[in-house]
Amino acid sequence: MDRKIFINHLVSAKAPLVGLILTSLLAACGETATTGSSTPAPSTTTQITENPVNAEVKPTAPAVENSGSECTLPALPDYNDLTASNDRFPDPFTMIDGTVVTHKDQWRCRRAEIAAQAQKYELGEKPGPAQKITGEFIDNIFRVTVEEAGKSISYDLEVTLPEQGTPPFPAMIGIGAVSLNQAELMKLGVALIKFPNNDIAEQINSQSRGKGKFYELYGADHTAGALMAWAWGVSRAIDALEISETPIDASRLGITGCSRNGKGAIIAGAFDERIALTIGQESGSGGAASWRISDAQLAAGQNVQTLRQIVTENVWFTESFKDFSESVNRLPFDHHQVLGMIAPRGLLIIENSIEWLGIESAYVTPVIAQEIWTALGVADHLGVSQMLEHPHCQQPAAQQPEINAFVKKFLLGDNTADTQVIKTETGLVVDKKRWVDWSTPSLQ
């Protein structure tokens, strides 16, 4: 773009007048304003008017970052007070207090419980929206400036616009980069946004903790590991997109990433409900794989990354996550539930058959996670595609049809797209009884 577009917008969760305006706007839309300590939505939003070409496209994700922010959550026990469970997956349909989820509207608060557990034990806390957000779009760079408690950081997202379609475009945010077939995405009229995750939180090695712009804002001793810091940075970028005049449609956003960045994409998608589609590519442990199955694979003699190893490799998780190195079964959740936080939105897991990624773990975990989408009546909103081993982070052409289908359904509004895909070329057969001792309800 040759012209400079600058919007400087104040987002203040503490301003009573802004809160009153927001409440009125939400009421007009049939929604309720919420309060709480867990990732509330930005106080104000300037909605981009869609071009008539896109007038029939409906947003496929809620307009809030965290719809369960007002849920009352119980105090979570510290590590020493946790009781080891068996090696099966914890029940996603039973609340912490023992209440069984029987209605769809209960999932919102059950999701909030899982989010709280994941933050306390694995990922660290995700701060909510900052006091001030600025968005500036110039020469295909979108600069985000965040101010909090007298401190300020800025980071740049690279934007590549498609030649097909008419702005405002749906967009795929790539953690680090979009490792999917970029040309195919742009043929569909989808813009690409490169998110600078290493700028937000460093991930060079185990000495990287507390380094990056997130920690400049919140302190080097903040509990968030790199994955959660990236998720926060993505959410603040969405805040800025919502209030800025750009060629991007902030109501039609997807997120993706591969390998360690695939872990980041899944966490970002899980913790921001404004993201309509998450595509996790070859994400392994801390992503699509579960800690329990990966441990079982290691015990069976396979060379697979486990919790006890990953906490020594890098700073993706909160520091205290290492407490679970020899006691995975103490975790009151696993990654089938982290994936389930994305439900009922779109999730596509595309996998490689590399032993280190957990061939069984990275396939069986999302297959079991699909039970959450099934309970919500949208089983085809989750897909899994696992190919035989190929070069890491180089998407095979054979996976393009399912990627296209998910993009068409969740970013382009094509509800006829066939997203029913659960497949593996490895011959794996999922033995749900091995990992599941709970039943999937049909939520009303």
Identity of residue 437: D
**Secondary structure in 3-state letters for the chain:** CCCCEEEEECCCCCCHHHHHHHHHHHHHCCCCCCCCCCCCCCCCCCCCCCCHHHCCCCCCCCCCCCCCCCCCCCCCCCHHHCCCCCCCCCCCCECCCCCECCCHHHHHHHHHHHHHHHHHHHHCCCCCCCCEEEEEEECCEEEEEEEECCEEEEEEEEEECCCCCCCCEEEEEEECCCCCCHHHHHHCCCEEEEECHHHHCCCCCCCCCCCCHHHHHHCCCCCCCHHHHHHHHHHHHHHHHHHCCCCEEEEEEEEEEECHHHHHHHHHHHCCCCEEEEEEECCCECCCECHHHHHHHHHCCCCCCCHHHHHHHCCCCCHHHHHHCCCHHHCCCCHHHHHHCCCCCEEEEEECCCHHHCHHHHHHHHHHHHHHHHHCCCHHHEEEEECCCCCCCCCCHHHHHHHHHHHHHHCCCCCCCCCCCEEECCCCCCCHHHHCCCCCCCCC
What does residue 338 show for φ and ψ, rounded to 5 degrees?
-60, -45
Q: Confirm if 169 and 51 have CB atoms less than 8 A apart.
A: no
Catalytic: which of 259, 283, 285, 353? 259
The side-by-side arrangement of strands in the sheet containing 422-424 is 5-9, 132-138, 141-148, 151-160, 191-195, 169-175, 248-258, 275-281, 346-351, 382-386, 422-424
Provide CB contacts within 8 A for 319, sequence distance 6+: 209, 223, 225
The reply to whether 392 belongs to the active site is: yes
Catalytic: which of 9, 12, 320, 392? 392
| Alpha-carbon span 30 to 35, nearest angstrom | 17
The reply to whether 259 belongs to the active site is: yes
For helices 291-299 and 359-375, what crossing angle results, to 10°? 150
Q: Six-digit token pair at 237?
A: 């970028």
Active site residues: 259, 392
